[in-house]
Amino acid sequence: MKTKLSAIFMALTLSLAGHTSSHAQATTWNAYTFGPSEALANVQGLKRIITAIEQDTNGEVKIKLNLAGSLPIQSSDITQATGEGTVQFGDDGFFLGAVPIAGVLRLPMLISSRAEFDKAEEIMRPYIDRAFAKQDVVVLGRFVFPFQVAFTTKKLCCRLTLLLPTVRSSRLQCNRDQESAKQSAV
C-alpha cells in the first residue's frame, strides 16, 4: 500500500509509527498542514490528495485534515509530530529546524533556475530522505515555492523599483530613479 500511496502524495510526510489498515474496519489518520486557511493552494492540493487516497483505498483509510492552529502543534514542529505519531500525515513547509540539511536547497543565490533546482534536488534527495528517516518520517513528495519573493507595504510603480536601494511610492520619484538607473546601468 505504501508504494501506491507514495505515487499520489505530494508535499507530505507520513509517520512510520505503524498505522496500518484492516479490511474489517477503516483506519482514520490525522493530517496536519502549516496552511491556516482552506483557500491556500497547498491546502487545496492536500484536500485533493486526501480525496484520492480515500478513493484509492476504497475507504479503508480516512484522513481528517487539521489546518494550522487547530491542534497544539507549531508549524515548525510538524515533522516531529508526524515522526512521533501525534499525526500520521503532515504537510510541512517549515521543516528546516528538524531537517537542517534540506536548507542547502534554500541558500540565497545558489540556485537561479528551475532546472538548477531540479538537478540540485536530485543530488540532495538521498541525504534529505535519510535525515527525515532519522525522525521516523518518510518523504512522499515535494513542491517548490518561488525562489525569491519580494514584499513591500508601498506601491511599486515599475519593476525597476525593486533594484533601487529604497522603494518609493511617488510616480515622479520612480520616473527620476528609473532615469538614474538607466544612466548608471552601463
DSSP-derived secondary structure for 64-83 = EEE-TTSSS--GGGHHHHHH
pLDDT tens-digit series, residues 4-60: 333 333 334 455 444 444 455 789 999 999 999 999 988 998 999 999 999 999 999
Cell 482552506 belongs to which residue? 38
pLDDT of residue 142: 81
Beta strands in 16-115, from DSSP E residues, in sequence order:
27-33, 61-66, 89-91
| Degrees to nearest 5, angle at CA 104 with 103 and 110 | 125
Q: 140: which 3 cell numbers?
A: 512522499
**Mean pLDDT of all residues belonging to the chain:** 77
| 28-37, 102-111, 122-131, 139-148: least confidently modelled range | 139-148
**CB under 8 Å to 31, separation ≥6 — which residues?**
12, 46, 50, 63, 64, 65, 66, 87, 88, 89, 90, 91
CATH number listed for the domain at residues 2-139: 3.40.190.170
Instruction: Provide CATH 3.40.190.170 ranges for the chain.
Output: 2-139
Closest-CA residue to 42 (of 81, 77, 82, 75): 75
What is the share, in percent, of the chain residues with pLDDT greater than 90?
49
Comparison of pLDDT for 152 and 168, the residue scoring more: 152
